[in-house]
Amino acid sequence: MKLWSTLLLSFSVISGVFAAKPTQDTFQKYQSLSRSGPVDLDNAAFEELTNAPRDYYAAVILTAMDVRYGCAMCREFDPEWNLIAKSWNKGNKPDDLKVVFGTLDFDQGKAVFQKLMLQTAPVILLFPPTVGPFAKLESEPARFDFTGPISADQLYSWINRHLPDGPKPELVRPVNYMRIVSAITILMGAVTLFTVLSPYVLPIIQNRNLWAAVSLIAILLFTSGQMFNHIRKVPYVAGDGNGGISYFAGGFQNQFGLETQIVAAIYAVLSFATIALALKVPRMEDVKGQQVAVLIWAGVLFGTYSFLLSVFKTKNGGYPFYLPPF
Amino acid sequence: MAQSSSSLDVLLKGSSGQSTRGLLRIIILLTIAAAAVASRLFSVIRFESIIHEYDRSRNIDLFPIAVDPWFNFRATKYLVQNGFYSFWDWFDDRTWHPLGRVTGGTLYPGLMVTSGVIYHILRFLTIPVDIRNICVLLAPGFSGLTALAMYLLTCEMSTSPSAGLLAAAFMGIAPGYISRSVAGSYDNEAIAIFLLVFTFFLWIKAVKNGSIMWGALTALFYGYMVSAWGGYVFITNLIPLHVFVLLCMGRYSSRVYISYTTWYALGTLGSMQIPFVGFLPIRNSDHMSALGVFGLIQLVAFADFVRGFLPGKQFQKLLTAMVLLTFGLGFAGLVLLSVSGVIAPWSGRFYSLWDTGYAKIHIPIIASVSEHQPTAWPAFFFDLNFLIWLFPAGVFMCFQNLKDEHVFVIIYAVLSSYFAGVMVRLMLTLTPIVCVAAALALSGILDHFMVLSKPNPEAQTKTNAEDSKSLRSTQKPVVGIYSYFSKAVVTGSITVYLLLFVAHCTWVTSNAYSSPSVVLASRMPDGSQHIIDDYREAYYWLRQNTADNAKIMSWWDYGYQIGGMADRPTLVDNNTWNNTHIATVGKAMSSREEVSYPILRQHDVDYVLVVFGGLLGYSGDDLNKFLWMVRIAEGIWPDEVKERDFFTARGEYRVDDEATPTMRNSLMYKMSYYNYQSLFPAGQAVDRVRGTRVPTESPQLNTLEEAFTSENWIIRIYKVKDLDNFGRDHNNAVAFDKGLKRKRASKKKGPRVLRTE
């Protein structure tokens, strides 16, 4: 009995040593491969890295970088992923907490995609260790699906939640010296340009007409719902189902990009007619000309307003008011 | 012509003519104020004198808007009953159970104090009046005052006598302002818009006269504004911006210096008296522009002072350099202080105005409110009608003279139209300036076209004063309009537009803004009106059938209503100060019963209230808001609640047979559809909001039991079951009651065991 137990014990020790050795090696190997960023993997390397006895975490992004696949999010997220890997590898971390970051591109790892039955990219898998102090019972990897564009911080906090508690390296975004330098250069250039050109520029800046135009354009843009387009990212136009274009979106809370431009133009025409009637017409000395101008502007005002009301009526079905022509 | 109207001349010319006009003006203004009050009384006449929230959800497909009349009403009652000092120290233990809320220190007391003062004055005059009626009629009353303030403000902008009256009339009935000031919408904005307009009037007066008195009055009303509404930050930033632009335009004058320094010093001290504001004016980035401009204007004033004594050009250059250097150093110091954390960064709500994507990622609770959504163009037209296209014309006319006050109008116009575009709610701050500008534009037309006398081209003094600074279109002198025909055409068409405007405003007010969200009105097929009163039915049920301190859990939109109408403690309410607590409720609603029940027990919840519009087609119900609950819960417990799980594989939000398991097991889903199928023939149950069939089987509830369902099923209330008498978990107990055989626990791991404390 005793003999058996000692035998068993020694076996288990030996097997433990045998098992531990390769994982130690795998970790060292990939750790040395990934000097700063994540390791580039292929089918075989992925298998080796995620093979069952492992005493380290393996975080792998499965991505499709090539332009052919048209995965914009993959390409967008790649620098962020490198940033995470870099921050981790360079940062201060507990000695026994081992994490390997890897990148598996679809071109190198079709077999893995097939094996995992992945239809979408990018996907992030975090394999917990199976042996060692942080070993998890279930060796199934945690999976992070992308629902929208995200930043490195969001993903990093997700990874951190799956790692054991304790100090972890901060996510460090490298200072973009290029940007600072170029900003300073541009600023100084602008100042210089301004000083040199000030005799020519100042009259323009102090020009009242220019400021009036800028303010009016800004007001017209804002009141015609441009900010809504910007925030909600509405389509510019949409088809009406019969091959044509529908210029106006149905419903009170919807609009198209083109629609807001049409509305802004309507407002602009109406405002301009008002300005003409209030400021220009009373300053005309010619009797006939003034009569004609008044009729034209009043007609424009009336027709355009009528059109605006009819457009509004299409947006808000129950609206009871209209003006004759439209 | 002079002979025919000679009898009128006595009245219209000379000193008696002046007083006649003054009298007429007063009468017109009073009529406008009366019209402003009257047009806000639709809801009181149609329903009754009740406090309500303003709700656009039926006209525009959005969620009901979180405003807090019910809370304000409760607070006012407390103030009137217990006096001012105990109101100041009020700790409310009937909300945010079990946390409670330091109410006195976390609200803007202006509104309650105003109605309290009115109440006591009326009492003193021995007019017995219920505090509720004061609260209901406060907003219409103040809108009359707003029209008057608008008249004063516009008269400062224009020499034309008609502009002010037009602006007052526009302000009186513009739906953009009516939306928040109908009778019964007892909200901060009710008095705040009056204070906003009046403060701006005083400010313009101060800048024009350079008088300390007007500056001090500005500060006084600014202080009142701070005590009434969080939107005071708008004034705090707009006035410094006005001064800054004036300085940039080289328009420094002692008038500006006197009025600004007076306003800033007194106004800041005044605003710090409100406990909720406290030291924010010197420690928060929202207020830093005012401080910065205060410093800048001291420097400019000093430079201006020294310039008088320094003859040499070299000295002046030195001086300019010194001023710039000091300013740069001051600015760097401010940046350093805010980086090091002495000055708090921009508050989230305010910051989300600039970075429009910010709120959605970081503060979903703000993004979830429909008032914080961007504004589509129909909303502008809906709220302002033809003022919206008179608005740019009026702003253009301000460039004509471009005095100091016109600069103010332009800045205000551009800035507030940006804000209104970003957030529906800020349409409220846009409306006053639109009325000013539109009145300027319209009076510009009417003053030329409504003159009877013909111009005489020979008599025109041809003084072509070529002012290179003025606008191109106004360089020629004004002649006037020759023909009566053109006068008739223009005047006639403008009359049509004005009549249309009045009709539009009445229509909008009566249809969109006058239905209290607690009482819904619908039309029967025969055209008669049917009133759906489920909310009040349910709240009165709670009031009469539950224990006095039964805790009610609901989504936060209904917290104030439950507190006000049912008088029961709630877990969360519209004062969303504690995001985690709200997320807890969200988690309870969006998790399985096994997870939710311990949460409910831990928070002493006795009843759970959900709003379900499926039977009636009421779109503002909880299932439509459900995703926000999930999102807010996910923000705190990303591992336990996942938004993705509520969407089908194809990314659809479904409630029918194809709904995801997470969706179908969530407490909210179960509570909404529990027994709903029994209303319909088998297999025919339809959800009229989401326009889908619902599963044929009713969901099974183990830990809750249905306590009350209102007439139209809008409100459903469930009682949280107590622990089982035999120590079983509820799953087993329900199964036993149904006569099902008990599952062998030993065979497999069995269903997840319910843990209850």
Q: Is the pLDDT of residue B62 over 50?
A: no
pTM check: above 0.90: no
Nearest in space to B67 (alpha carbons), one of B148, B180, B173, B175: B180
A23 and A80 share one domain: yes
Selected residue with higher pLDDT from A265 and B186:
A265
List alpha helices for A206-225, DSSP H: 208-223
Return the pLDDT at B466: 44
* Rounded mean pLDDT, A43-53: 81
Chain B (478-497) residues lying within 8 Å, Cβ to Cβ, of chain A: 478-483, 485-486, 489-490, 493, 496-497
A325 found inside a domain: no
- CATH code of residue A89: 3.40.30.10
Chain B (313-372) residues lying within 8 Å, Cβ to Cβ, of chain A: 356-357
Q: Is the pLDDT of residue B578 over 90?
A: no
Q: Is the pLDDT of residue A1 over 50?
A: no
User: What is the tens place of the pLDDT at every residue in B241-285?
Assistant: 999 999 888 888 999 999 999 999 999 999 999 888 888 888 887
Return the pLDDT at A38: 83
Determine whether the interchain pair B393/A278 forms a contact, defined as Cβ–Cβ distance below 8 Å. Answer: yes
Query: Looking at A103, A134, A162, which one is the last position of a domain?
Result: A162
The pLDDT-based confidence of A186 (bands split at 50, 70, 90) is very high
> Do A159 and A82 touch, CB atoms closer than 8 A?
no
Q: Does B174 touch chain A (CB under 8 A)?
A: no
Planar angle of CA A64, A70, A72, nearest 5 degrees: 80
A147 and A42 share one domain: yes
Determine whether the interchain pair A219/B413 forms a contact, defined as Cβ–Cβ distance below 8 Å. Answer: yes
Which of A19-28, A143-152, B111-120, B242-251 is most confident?
B111-120
User: What is the tens place of the pLDDT at every residue in B535-573?
Assistant: 888 988 998 999 988 999 998 888 888 888 888 899 988
A184 found inside a domain: no
A212 and A131 share one domain: no
- Strands in B658-743 per DSSP E: 686-687, 692-693, 704-709, 715-720
Q: Is the pLDDT of residue B360 over 80?
A: no
A248 and A307 share one domain: yes
Strand partners, A88: none
Q: Is the pLDDT of residue B419 over 80?
A: yes
Structural domain range at position A233: 207-315
Determine whether the interchain pair A294/B481 forms a contact, defined as Cβ–Cβ distance below 8 Å. Answer: yes
Nearest in space to B706 (alpha carbons), one of B728, B678, B683: B678
Query: Looking at A162, A179, A196, which one is the last position of a domain?
Result: A162
A225 and A148 share one domain: no
Across chain B, what does the average pLDDT equal?
83
A110 found inside a domain: yes
A142 and A84 share one domain: yes
Return the pLDDT at B743: 53
Query: Looking at A100, A128, A162, which one is the last position of a domain?
Result: A162
Determine whether the interchain pair A281/B471 forms a contact, defined as Cβ–Cβ distance below 8 Å. Answer: no
A132 and A29 share one domain: yes
A238 and A142 share one domain: no
Return the pLDDT at B59: 31
Selected residue with higher pLDDT from B309 and B272:
B272
Selected residue with higher pLDDT from B342 and A58:
A58
List alpha helices for B174-231, DSSP H: 175-178, 188-209, 212-228
User: What is the tens place of the pLDDT at every residue in A91-127?
Assistant: 777 777 788 888 888 888 888 888 887 777 788 888 8
A197 found inside a domain: no
Return the pLDDT at A214: 92
Q: What percent of chain A has pLDDT over 90?
A: 16
Determine whether the interchain pair B470/A208 forms a contact, defined as Cβ–Cβ distance below 8 Å. Answer: yes
Q: Long-range pairs for B528-537 at CB < 8 Å and ≥24 separation?
A: B531/B47, B532/B616, B532/B711, B532/B712, B532/B714, B533/B711, B534/B710, B534/B711, B534/B712, B534/B713, B534/B714, B534/B715, B535/B561, B535/B565, B535/B710, B535/B714, B535/B715, B536/B565, B537/B710, B537/B711, B537/B715
Q: What percent of chain B has pLDDT over 90?
A: 33
> CB under 8 Å to B281, separation ≥6 — which residues?
B236, B268, B271, B272, B287, B290
Determine whether the interchain pair B420/A271 forms a contact, defined as Cβ–Cβ distance below 8 Å. Answer: no
Ordered DSSP codes for B95-141:
STTTT-EETTTSS-THHHHHHHHHHHHHHHTT----HHHHHHHHHHH
B210 vs B203: CA distance, rounded Å: 10
Q: Is the pLDDT of residue A6 over 70?
A: no
Selected residue with higher pLDDT from B256 and B21:
B256
A173 vs B212: CA distance, rounded Å: 52
Chain B (287-306) residues lying within 8 Å, Cβ to Cβ, of chain A: none
Nearest chain B residue to A306, by CA:
B497
Q: What percent of chain B has pLDDT over 70?
A: 84
Selected residue with higher pLDDT from B341 and B743:
B341
Determine whether the interchain pair B378/A305 forms a contact, defined as Cβ–Cβ distance below 8 Å. Answer: no
Nearest in space to A308 (alpha carbons), one of B233, B378, B693, B603: B378
State the ipTM, two decimals.
0.80
Q: Which of B57, B382, B389 to mutate to test the interface with A (most CBs of A within 10 A)?
A: B389
A310 and A237 share one domain: yes
User: What is the tens place of the pLDDT at every residue in B631-666?
Assistant: 888 888 888 888 888 888 777 888 888 888 899 999
A238 and A91 share one domain: no
The pLDDT-based confidence of A264 (bands split at 50, 70, 90) is very high
Q: Is the pLDDT of residue B13 over 80?
A: no
| Buried-exposed string A134-158: b where 16+ CB fall within 10 A, e elsewhere | beeeeeebbebeeeeebebeebbeb
Return the pLDDT at B370: 65
A293 found inside a domain: yes
- Domain count along chain A: 2
Provide the 10 A C-beta neighbour count for residue B433. 26
B183 vs B53: CA distance, rounded Å: 10
A158 and A15 share one domain: yes
* Rounded mean pLDDT, A288-312: 92
User: What is the tens place of the pLDDT at every residue in A31-47?
Assistant: 777 667 788 888 888 88
Which range has the worst mean pLDDT, A61-75, B28-42, B450-464? B450-464
Selected residue with higher pLDDT from B309 and B660:
B660
Q: Is the pLDDT of residue B327 over 60?
A: yes
A200 found inside a domain: no
A183 found inside a domain: no
- Go through the domains of chain B in sequence order and give each one's CATH number: 188-346 (no CATH), 548-720 (3.40.50), 723-757 (no CATH)
A152 and A211 share one domain: no
A181 found inside a domain: no
Q: Is the pLDDT of residue A147 over 80?
A: no
